[in-house]
Structures are given as structure tokens and as C-alpha cells.
């Protein structure tokens, strides 16, 4: 059973990715909790990057009402041409049609999807995540108090997905006072690059931890994320920045569901 948005994209000519395209490796791939990913590839934008969306397929072949991921994928000979720009990364989604809709919330799925997408980025490439879809308020608060990008919610996700050797923050173009809009994580080019970037990141984190005594209580999770990153850098710097990790601070909880009443 499919939903209207999924069908609408098919009617517009969106298709599963060609088997030679990197995105093909994600199509119908198991994600977590008995879900599979359904990848639809759309048209190219003016730069040649490909629009794509990822839906979920549940155990009884229902397609999620909305895409879990909405993004652009670019590839080319120069490493700067290899990137993924994620505008939507959802942890809440639903299946079915009104009046009976099964709502699901699972915070572990965005991390797993992000990890798989980072696996498509070659050395020297980068991945960008829209902060608005991943707790934008906390991210803006973190950065306004000098929290390193890697210790923000989206930065920590990117780091644990293997594309966080270094970071860049893209400011919003909507005017002053809007705060950061996107966070971009770069994959190390090689072992030397990983070592250099890991050393610089560790230095920034140590300085932050030494100076964060007046950090608001709401940002205590940022300190925990910073310490977790620092521990990983100290113990396995090169491996951490060159390959995705399969560890989190704790195992993600199982999805919670709620059926909307008739």
C-alpha cells in the first residue's frame, strides 16, 4: 500500500535509482526495527545534483506517509563535487490513511539513516544537515555559548556517522538574528588529514570543557557529547575520522507507536 506523496512523486517521473548510481545501494536496504528504505530519485538541479527522498517500508508493505529523508546528492571527479545536502531528517513518521493512522517515533532511525548516507560520501567529500530539522533551538543555543559544532545535536550525529573530521556552519540568509541554518561535516581525505583535524578538534573541545563552568543547565547534554567525542578521539583518532562508528552513547530506544482514533 502506498501513500499519496509517494504516488505523486512516481507520477512526476521519480524512480528508484539506477543500479549504477551510489543511491541504489540504499534502496530496499534494511534500516532498523523491521523497516526497509525506499529510495526515489528525482530530477537534477542546475548544478547537476540529484534530488532524492527516502521513505520507509514496514513489515506489512506499507509506505510511510512522508519521506524520512529529503536531500540532494552530488558526485564528480574532484572531491569537492562529492556531497549530500539533507534538508529533512525525520524521527517521527506515520503509516496508513485517515482516519486510522499509525504514528511512530524512533530517535534511532535518523542516526542510522545518516550513517548510511555518510557511507556514500568519499574521502574529502562532505555532508550537510539542516539544523531546523534536528532541534534547531538547542543547536542555536549551543553555538551562541561557544559549544563546538561537533557537540551540537546534528554535529554529534554527523561525527558518529563518519563525516565529522571537521565542520563548517552556514549562517541563515533570512536576515540577522536567525542563527545558524546548516551544519556541514567533512570526511577526512586521508590518514594525515584525519590526524591533523582530529588534533585540532580535540584542542577545541578541551578549551571548551575548561571554560564552560557558566554554561546554562539546559546545555549539560552538550558537555556530555563533547566528552564522548574527546574520548573517542583520544582512543582511536584515525579510525574515528576515517570510518563510521557503530556505537552511540547508549542504545536507541525501540520505536513508540500510537494509533490515531477513528
Q: Which positions ≥6 away from 13 have C-beta within 8 Å?
A: 42, 43
* Interatomic CA distance for residues 125 and 216, integer angstroms: 35
pLDDT tens digits for the chain (262 residues)?
446 899 999 999 999 999 999 999 999 999 888 899 999 999 999 999 999 999 999 988 999 999 999 999 999 989 889 999 999 888 888 887 766 777 887 777 877 898 899 999 999 999 999 887 555 678 888 988 999 999 998 899 899 888 999 999 987 655 445 544 789 999 999 989 999 999 999 999 999 999 988 899 999 999 999 999 999 998 765 555 655 433 333 344 455 555 544 3
* Interatomic CA distance for residues 94 and 103, integer angstroms: 4
| 39 φ/ψ sector (left φ>0, alpha ψ -120 to 50, else beta) | beta
pTM: 0.84
Domains in the chain with CATH codes: 4-245 (3.40.630.30)
* Interatomic CA distance for residues 245 and 114, integer angstroms: 12
* Interatomic CA distance for residues 174 and 179, integer angstroms: 9
Amino acid at each position: 500500500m502506498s501513500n499519496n506523496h509517494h504516488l505523486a512523486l512516481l507520477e512526476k517521473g521519480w524512480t528508484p535509482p539506477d543500479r549504477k548510481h551510489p543511491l541504489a545501494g540504499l534502496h530496499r536496504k534494511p534500516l532498523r526495527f523491521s523497516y526497509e528504505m525506499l529510495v526515489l530519485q528525482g530530477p537534477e538541479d542546475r548544478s547537476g545534483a540529484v534530488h532524492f527522498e527516502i521513505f520507509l517500508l514496514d513489515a506489512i508493505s506499507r509506505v510511510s506517509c512522508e519521506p524520512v529523508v529529503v536531500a540532494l546528492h552530488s558526485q564528480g571527479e574532484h572531491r569537492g563535487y562529492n556531497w549530500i545536502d539533507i534538508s529533512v531528517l525525520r524521527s517521527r513518521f506515520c503509516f496508513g490513511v485517515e482516519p486510522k493512522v499509525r504514528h511512530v517515533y524512533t530517535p534511532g532511525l535518523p542516526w542510522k539513516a545518516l550513517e548510511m548516507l555518510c557511507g556514500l560520501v568519499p574521502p574529502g567529500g562532505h555532508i550537510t544537515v539542516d539544523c531546523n530539522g534536528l532541534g534547531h533551538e538547542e543547536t542555536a543555543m549551543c553555538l551562541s555559548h561557544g559549544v563546538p559544532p561537533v557537540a551540537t545535536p546534528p554535529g554529534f550525529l554527523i561525527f558518529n556517522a563518519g563525516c565529522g573530521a571537521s565542520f563548517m556552519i552556514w549562517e541563515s540568509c533570512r536576515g540577522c538574528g536567525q542563527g545558524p541554518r546548516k551544519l556541514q561535516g567533512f570526511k577526512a581525505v586521508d590518514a594525515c588529514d584525519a590526524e591533523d583535524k582530529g588534533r585540532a578538534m580535540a584542542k577545541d573541545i578541551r578549551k571548551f570543557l575548561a571554560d564552560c563552568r557558566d554554561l546554562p543547565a539546559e546545555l549539560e547534554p552538550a558537555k556530555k557529547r563533547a566528552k564522548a567525542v574527546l574520548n573517542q578521539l583520544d582512543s582511536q583518532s584515525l579510525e574515528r575520522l576515517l570510518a563510521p562508528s557503530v556505537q552511540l552513547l547508549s542504545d536507541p530506544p525501540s520505536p513508540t507507536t500510537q494509533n490515531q482514533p477513528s
